[in-house]
Structure 1
């Protein structure tokens, strides 16, 4: 597990590309018979839940090239297709694609956008009247 320490490190983080920073759920789950499972058991599940903390800019797409005028100075403006997930979304994701990282003493996961299975967005539910 990688560790990042510093004053307000989380606010300074910039996620790259299609990566998402997730705070995993507390890990204590209750079985049907009423037993509580420790975090070590729930961390090894294939599918986990968490809350999105930071989101990368998206999938980079190449800029259109102007080959008809080779003397012009070329700009490499990278454009991005934005990600579907937003900060504060609750998500279910595939654990096997996650990377553990510790930031300011708290555990987080870095996952690619493709590992996200579903999202729950509170503001959209309130707009629908649910």
Structure 2
């Protein structure tokens, strides 16, 4: 009977010694997320335009983690500073797109990019140009 506790202790020591306590190899580089808009383009008949209030939806996918949120920018992204992008965790919102003062019509670009759990941002975010018109107020 004294043999069983001794065998148990010996087996336990073998298990502890044989366990690897560290990971080996190199970590994979973080891959950026991919963002998609629910629409790829807007096709309206000639002369037709949207009102300036639009609902826009999007989604993202991250191959090596998860999407923590999204950043959107209204306008030309080449002119945007990093802090001009607005963060949200929503996958849709209603926007009132800006029309330049004194204009009746505008083509407004909406851009959105996913941000993953490691802070990486979609390097090629999708964009969509909305042809909008200013609606005159009614009395």
| Shorter-chain TM-score range | under 0.3
Taking structure 1 as the reference length, what is the TM-score of the superposition?
0.24
In terms of Rg, which structure is larger?
Answer: 2
Taking structure 2 as the reference length, what is the TM-score of the superposition?
0.23
